[in-house]
Structure 1
């Protein structure tokens, strides 16, 4: 393999490590939140990728106000999660429900049930940008 190809492979692998480390560090600081990366793929649209994660929320656990550099498509797997999306009334989505969150729109999520809640988040984002940005 040529040196350039090896360098490109190392750079691509490192970008995935940065994504995982940053996102993992943020969720580690949030009691009752556990994130599991499911998949990540380049799209046919240059500079875009899709990332899919599972997020588990202990009863009462909340993910604070944040935003993403692209669209988020949410599918609630279990429990009941209240979403507060800027510009919309808070809404509770139960297992089997879905939600679309536009790019860069601040939002928060909280388990309002008595059992562990879980969602699958699918993100269509600009490649190389941090997936999550906390909003003060």
Structure 2
């Protein structure tokens, strides 16, 4: 019994590493740093905060989230394309609210690195990023 638990744990760790590697391969020029993940006072919801750094010209995959996102541009210039809306370019110090389930992408349109602080209020236990075709 103990051996099967150890094997299961090892497989989960390896599988998590492969999934992370695959996500990074899709996001060339983009680095995500997880900062906070905490349960909220509302059952089934959590707050997640991450820093996302974009190299010049880097573009995220088209994706959505299982909850709301507030994006705050820390440095540089990022263009956001929300499904059904005209693109909007934000500069350091500007924010954008992205409703739950809305497909979107972000692109660094400046000459240098761009960074955002993304705060999510999402369904607990669901993938934070849902790729959209």
**1:21–1:130 CA distance, 2 compared to 1 (3 A):** farther
Runs (5+) with no aligned partner, structure 2: 1-11
**1:135 aligned residue:** 132
Is 2:75 the partner of 1:78? yes
In the TM superposition, 1:1-80 aligns within 5 A as 22=19, 25-80=22-77
Deviation at 1:30, TM superposition (A): 1.6
**1:87 aligned residue:** 84
SS of residue in 2 equivalent to 1:63: coil
Name the TM-score, length of structure 2 as normaliser.
Answer: 0.84
Deviation at 1:22, TM superposition (A): 4.7
**1:78–1:100 CA distance, 2 compared to 1 (3 A):** same
Name the TM-score, length of structure 1 as normaliser.
Answer: 0.82
Question: Within 1, Cα distance between the matches of 2:21 and 2:52?
Answer: 11
Question: Within 1, Cα distance between the matches of 2:18 and 2:43?
Answer: 25
Structure 1 consecutive aligned stretches of length 4 or more whose deviation exceeds 4 Å: 20-24
User: For residues 81-104 of structure 1, what are the alpha-carbon distances to aligned partners after superposition, in whole Å with 9 as ceiling and x for unaligned?
Assistant: 000001211000001000000000
Deviation at 1:24, TM superposition (A): 6.2
SS of residue in 1 equivalent to 2:60: strand
**1:5 aligned residue:** none
**1:55–1:32 CA distance, 2 compared to 1 (3 A):** same
